[in-house]
A and B are shown apart, each in its own frame.
Chain A
Amino acid sequence: MLALLGLGLSACQPDLEKDFEPSNGTADFSNYIAVGNSLTAGFSDGGLYLEGQQQSFPAILAQQFATVGGGEFVQPLFGAGQENGSGYLRLANIVNGLPVTASVNTNLALRQGATAARPLYTKFTGQINNLGVPGIRLSDIETAGYGSVLGNPFFERITPDAQATQTYLQRVAASNPTFFTNWLGNNDVLGFATAGGAANSLTSVADFTDKNSKVIDALTATGAKGVVATIPDVTTIPFFTTVGPSFRTTLEAGKVSGLVIQTGAAPGGATSANRKPITTGDIKAVDGTGRQLFTLLSSPFLPLVGTKTGRPWRYVYGQSGQPAAGFPLFLAAYGIDTTAAFGVSAGNPIPSLFVLDDVEQGQVRTATNNFNAAIKTKAAAKGLAVFDANAFFSTVASNGLVVNGVNNTAGFVSGNLFSLDGVHPTPRGYAVVANEMIKVINSTYGAKVPTVNPTSYRGVKFP
């Protein structure tokens, strides 16, 4: 009887694993190639650095693909002693409940002679699977010289010297994937949006559609299967949602009924069309009322509203990279009077760089919708899986996302999903992206790729 009991005990442990055997379905993960921009590279906290690379969503996907026949996945990782890559932001302190960030600029991967202002990074020219290039727009993929020292330093970094004129599209075409992810196009709206419509341009729909088609054709030329992702609605990211609500509360408390902002990028003085009065109630609040969005970068300057100051304009001009001597000309071109009260007078409006106003939002939204239509149409024609990042992040913005009992939101710092730049995900955000991609891969290709536990990946790192 005791022997029987012993037997019973050892047989007692339930075996569930056989119910959840991973399988690759109809997909072949042996050579997975990741195509995209900063999101694909693992950019986080305003920079590309080793930890972000190691927890990029393609790296997480590749780790999971390894359970179903996935092959080696090489990323252009920053090496020892250069692990901080381009440099990044860290959370230095919380003062009065507000985050204070500081730059990490030691152990960078800058090449001899390069500067942080015009960086060139230590080369990584071997065969790689993660072709994510921070900053690349879909409109850039056929630009010869984009990988040269005058082009994009992140693409230059992974471009072999012998092929300095190779375009991004050519690089993709030569990658010979059996499976791919493609998430290009964010920067075709993002640069315009984060500059408050004051810089950069929106890519034309025709150009976007054409180049999206070309990159998908290149990836599927040898029959590869893959996932494409849509472009999220950038107006719900912390970069645009963090500052405005508290600013509005401050203005209301101070009985400031309205502001004057600058809109667009066109020069012109106090009476020109680039001045735009807005009411305080038109600043978008947490409850969804109001429309105007203030960028994260405006935060240090908003307390100056009502004072006579030129500081915001020196910052804006500084961003242009032009010689300091040109500052008076810049002020003259835009009719800025730094002796007028900042933010509440047409003579000294809030710079366009700091506000994505309702008109600009409309432009961004229209472009995003058109681009996403192009992405989905092409994916449908090729039978590819689609991760609708736009729909997903909209849901996260309105409802939050609970995974394994842990609450995450689209909030800044405390939300766990977005890093300190307010735009790019944290490692947990990337893990969530990887899981969403796995879900559409599984449903499209009849695969059973296991997801990861996003809770094991960190949100914002605290001091």
Chain B
Amino acid sequence: MKFKSLLLAGGALLSATAASAGGYQVTLAGIKNNGMGGVGVGLSLDQAAMFYNPGALAMVRDRGVQIGANFTFARNSFVAEGSSTQRELRNSVVTPVSLFAGFGPQEGKFRAGIAVYTPFGSKLQYADGWEGRTSLTDIDLKSVFVQPTVSYAITDQLSIGAGLVVLAYGAVNLQRDIPLPDSFGHIELDGKAETKFGVNAGIFFKPSEKLSVGVSYRSKIDARVKDGDVTFSGLSPAFAPNFQATKFSATLPLIATTSIGFGIMPTENLTIGIDASLANWSAYKTLRFDFDQPILDSKTRLPTTVSESKREYQDALTFRVGAQYKLTSGLVVRAGGSYDESPVKDGFVTPETPDNDRIGGTLGASYNFGKFGVDLSAQYVGIKKRTQTQQELVTNGTTDRIAGTYKTNIVIPGIGLNYTF
């Protein structure tokens, strides 16, 4: 049973924008940041700073509220080892939304805010009867994070901030086929995550009009699904007695992320951001599911209440660079790029996260009508082609997944509306 996706999902949740590679999450918090390659730790663009670096919120001059939506189109192709047939997803669109609101006295040193974001939303539906069906057929992960945040400007140049990260809502649905001697059964796991808390904190320093620097840290949260529902279907009477579980639980480390970012403002109209992040994916060793009653392990053919699958992720770095240029008083244009190291080692790639190093390119624009503004962004993320062989799987003891070649491209148009008080 491979629910790494869940884990990944969780990790993505926490570290969504800045750092984490893996999964189908992409950096989707502020639409402005999205247009700039996802930079933000060393900048104080708008209320979305609560996500990137809570320390920068006090330096955001405007108070306001913004909402955003990202339409995520993932297109994946897979060819199994030795085959020549390309498998494609039953495609779907995922639309994570976000809301950021910042408050505070006009000239005061405090800012407070609340951020609601869905840094991870993944939905993959593999082709009917595809070669990896016993690993995964469908995955649907949803999460909502709510983050009340305060920020304080110690001096005109230095500010700090912190937010309480609340995993307010998390839902997972994982499905796969069960190999039986003469047919396939199906198992569906469906559960909600318990509410959990973490911290997002940062420092922002702006020594001059031309330079700023920020450091932020998001803590690890162990997301836990308890008493999720297990549903079996398609089991012929000969096999049904082997699959009696009705509840499952699982814990997923939503890994910690540390980021540093720089802002460079050579002219009043040009802002350049550079970010680097380290995601502590090495906390993700195994994905384990506990069942209330035994199910037949299809490998050992013995009943078990525990299903474990190796992940053994490694820490991964992400680099981002982006710029915005103010063309007119109302129009700002943006561009950027990113490079995301995969946390997934060779021979450990799973269908939930057919991952590899990612290269992203972004474009964006904003137009302001007085207190109203519209932000647009477009991201293209190419996950590099990745091949793993059955021999690698055998060597690593990871034959619960499938050998072959994956390639994924993701296109994410985003739109945001903002209002300044």
What are the residues of chain B within 8 A of A9 when measuring CB–CB?
Answer: 73, 411
Judge whether A455 is part of the interface by a CB distance below 8 angstroms: yes
The answer to whether A414 touches B407 (Cβ under 8 A) is no
Judge whether A456 is part of the interface by a CB distance below 8 angstroms: yes
Best-surrounded residue of A404, A461, A463 (most CB of chain B within 10 A): A404
What are the residues of chain B within 8 A of A463 when measuring CB–CB?
Answer: 238
The answer to whether A21 touches B298 (Cβ under 8 A) is no
B349 CB, min distance to chain A CBs, angstroms: 13
A381 CB, min distance to chain B CBs, angstroms: 29
A-B contacts, CB under 8 A, total: 120
Judge whether B80 is part of the interface by a CB distance below 8 angstroms: yes
Judge whether B88 is part of the interface by a CB distance below 8 angstroms: yes
Judge whether A22 is part of the interface by a CB distance below 8 angstroms: yes
Cα A283 to Cα B403 with chains together (Å)? 39
The answer to whether B182 touches A458 (Cβ under 8 A) is yes
The answer to whether B182 touches A453 (Cβ under 8 A) is no
The answer to whether A451 touches B83 (Cβ under 8 A) is yes
The answer to whether B407 touches A462 (Cβ under 8 A) is no
Judge whether A319 is part of the interface by a CB distance below 8 angstroms: no
Which of A162-170, A289-297, A354-362, A405-413 forms part of the interface with chain B? A405-413
What are the residues of chain B within 8 A of A452 when measuring CB–CB?
Answer: 83
Given the interface pairs A414-B181, A460-B181, A461-B181, the reply to whether A5 lies near B80 with Cβ below 8 Å is no
A372-421, CB < 8 A from B: 402-407, 413-414, 416
Cα A9 to Cα B412 with chains together (Å)? 9
Given the interface pairs A453-B131, A455-B134, the reply to whether A12 lies near B179 with Cβ below 8 Å is no
Cα A452 to Cα B182 with chains together (Å)? 17
The answer to whether B181 touches A413 (Cβ under 8 A) is yes
The answer to whether A456 touches B86 (Cβ under 8 A) is no
Which range contains the number of A residues in contact with the other chain?
A: 35 or more
The answer to whether B86 touches A462 (Cβ under 8 A) is no
Judge whether A435 is part of the interface by a CB distance below 8 angstroms: yes
Best-surrounded residue of B82, B135, B238, B400 (most CB of chain A within 10 A): B82
Judge whether A276 is part of the interface by a CB distance below 8 angstroms: no
B28-87, CB < 8 A from A: 73, 75-86
Cα A414 to Cα B179 with chains together (Å)? 11
What are the residues of chain A within 8 A of B182 when measuring CB–CB?
Answer: 458-462
Given the interface pairs A8-B411, A450-B82, the reply to whether A404 lies near B402 with Cβ below 8 Å is yes
What are the residues of chain B within 8 A of A403 when measuring CB–CB?
Answer: 390
Best-surrounded residue of B88, B380, B385, B413 (most CB of chain A within 10 A): B413
Cα A461 to Cα B180 with chains together (Å)? 10
The answer to whether A15 touches B86 (Cβ under 8 A) is yes
Q: Which listed residue, A5, A94, A404, touches B413 by the CB 8 Å rule?
A: A5
Given the interface pairs A5-B378, A455-B134, the reply to whether A12 lies near B73 with Cβ below 8 Å is yes
> What residue of chain B has the Cβ atom nearest to residue A457's Cβ?
B182
Judge whether B206 is part of the interface by a CB distance below 8 angstroms: no
The answer to whether B82 touches A17 (Cβ under 8 A) is no
Judge whether A20 is part of the interface by a CB distance below 8 angstroms: yes
What are the residues of chain A within 8 A of B328 when measuring CB–CB?
Answer: none
Cα A39 to Cα B59 with chains together (Å)? 77
B277 CB, min distance to chain A CBs, angstroms: 26
Given the interface pairs A5-B413, A67-B84, the reply to whether A459 lies near B181 with Cβ below 8 Å is yes
* Per-position 1/0 for A415-436, Cβ under 8 A of B: 0100000000000000000010
* Per-position 1/0 for A1-32, Cβ under 8 A of B: 10001001100111111011110000000000
What are the residues of chain B within 8 A of A214 when measuring CB–CB?
Answer: none
Cα A196 to Cα B247 with chains together (Å)? 50
Best-surrounded residue of B135, B236, B299 (most CB of chain A within 10 A): B299
The answer to whether B179 touches A453 (Cβ under 8 A) is no
What are the residues of chain A within 8 A of B81 when measuring CB–CB?
Answer: 451
The answer to whether B132 touches A405 (Cβ under 8 A) is yes
B348 CB, min distance to chain A CBs, angstroms: 14
Judge whether B218 is part of the interface by a CB distance below 8 angstroms: no
* Per-position 1/0 for A429-454, Cβ under 8 A of B: 00000010011000000001011110
Judge whether B208 is part of the interface by a CB distance below 8 angstroms: no
The answer to whether B181 touches A407 (Cβ under 8 A) is no
Cα A456 to Cα B403 with chains together (Å)? 16
> What residue of chain A has the Cβ atom nearest to residue B382's Cβ?
A14
B90 CB, min distance to chain A CBs, angstroms: 13
What are the residues of chain A within 8 A of B380 when measuring CB–CB?
Answer: 8, 12
Cα A22 to Cα B403 with chains together (Å)? 18
* Per-position 1/0 for B373-384, Cβ under 8 A of A: 000101010000
The answer to whether A16 touches B83 (Cβ under 8 A) is no
Judge whether B244 is part of the interface by a CB distance below 8 angstroms: no
Best-surrounded residue of A5, A15, A438 (most CB of chain B within 10 A): A5
Given the interface pairs A20-B84, A404-B131, A407-B298, the reply to whether A14 lies near B408 with Cβ below 8 Å is yes
A103 CB, min distance to chain B CBs, angstroms: 19
Given the interface pairs A5-B413, A16-B385, A450-B84, the reply to whether A406 lies near B376 with Cβ below 8 Å is no
Cα A14 to Cα B77 with chains together (Å)? 6
* Per-position 1/0 for B351-392, Cβ under 8 A of A: 000000000000000000000000010101000010000100
The answer to whether B179 touches A455 (Cβ under 8 A) is yes
Judge whether B246 is part of the interface by a CB distance below 8 angstroms: no
> What residue of chain A has the Cβ atom nearest to residue B400's Cβ?
A405
A34-82, CB < 8 A from B: 67
B284 CB, min distance to chain A CBs, angstroms: 20
What are the residues of chain B within 8 A of A458 when measuring CB–CB?
Answer: 181-183
> What residue of chain A has the Cβ atom nearest to residue B401's Cβ?
A405
Cα A406 to Cα B178 with chains together (Å)? 9
The answer to whether B238 touches A13 (Cβ under 8 A) is no
Judge whether B231 is part of the interface by a CB distance below 8 angstroms: no
Judge whether B399 is part of the interface by a CB distance below 8 angstroms: yes
> What residue of chain B has the Cβ atom nearest to residue A23's Cβ?
B84
Given the interface pairs A12-B75, A15-B77, A407-B299, the reply to whether A416 lies near B411 with Cβ below 8 Å is no
B203-257, CB < 8 A from A: 236, 238-239
What are the residues of chain A within 8 A of B238 when measuring CB–CB?
Answer: 94, 462-463
Q: Which listed residue, B80, B88, B239, B402, touches A13 by the CB 8 Å rule?
A: B88
Cα A451 to Cα B77 with chains together (Å)? 18
Q: Which listed residue, B78, B236, B385, B399, touches A462 by the CB 8 Å rule?
A: B236
Cα A27 to Cα B301 with chains together (Å)? 42
What are the residues of chain A within 8 A of B408 when measuring CB–CB?
Answer: 14
> What residue of chain A has the Cβ atom nearest to residue B409's Cβ?
A12
Best-surrounded residue of B78, B80, B298, B401 (most CB of chain A within 10 A): B80
A246 CB, min distance to chain B CBs, angstroms: 15
Judge whether B173 is part of the interface by a CB distance below 8 angstroms: no
The answer to whether A405 touches B181 (Cβ under 8 A) is no
Judge whether B154 is part of the interface by a CB distance below 8 angstroms: no
Best-surrounded residue of A8, A94, A406 (most CB of chain B within 10 A): A406
What are the residues of chain A within 8 A of B77 when measuring CB–CB?
Answer: 13-17
> What residue of chain B has the Cβ atom nearest to residue A18's Cβ?
B86
* Per-position 1/0 for B107-134, Cβ under 8 A of A: 0000000000000000000000101111
13 A-B contacts, Cβ less than 8 Å apart? A5-B378, A9-B411, A12-B380, A13-B75, A13-B77, A13-B409, A14-B75, A405-B132, A405-B400, A438-B82, A453-B80, A455-B179, A456-B129
Residues of A that sit less than 8 Å from B by CB = 1, 5, 8-9, 12-17, 19-22, 67, 94, 402-407, 413-414, 416, 435, 438-439, 448, 450-453, 455-456, 458-463
- In the A-B complex, the 7 residue pairs with the smallest Cβ-Cβ separation, listed nearest first, are A451-B82, A14-B407, A459-B181, A450-B84, A402-B399, A14-B77, A462-B238
Residues of B that sit less than 8 Å from A by CB = 73, 75-86, 88, 129, 131-135, 179-183, 236, 238-239, 298-299, 301, 376, 378, 380, 385, 390, 393-394, 399-403, 405, 407-411, 413
13 A-B pairs besides A21-B84, A406-B179 with CB distance below 8 A are A1-B378, A9-B73, A12-B73, A12-B380, A13-B75, A16-B385, A20-B83, A22-B84, A402-B299, A405-B132, A450-B82, A450-B83, A462-B181
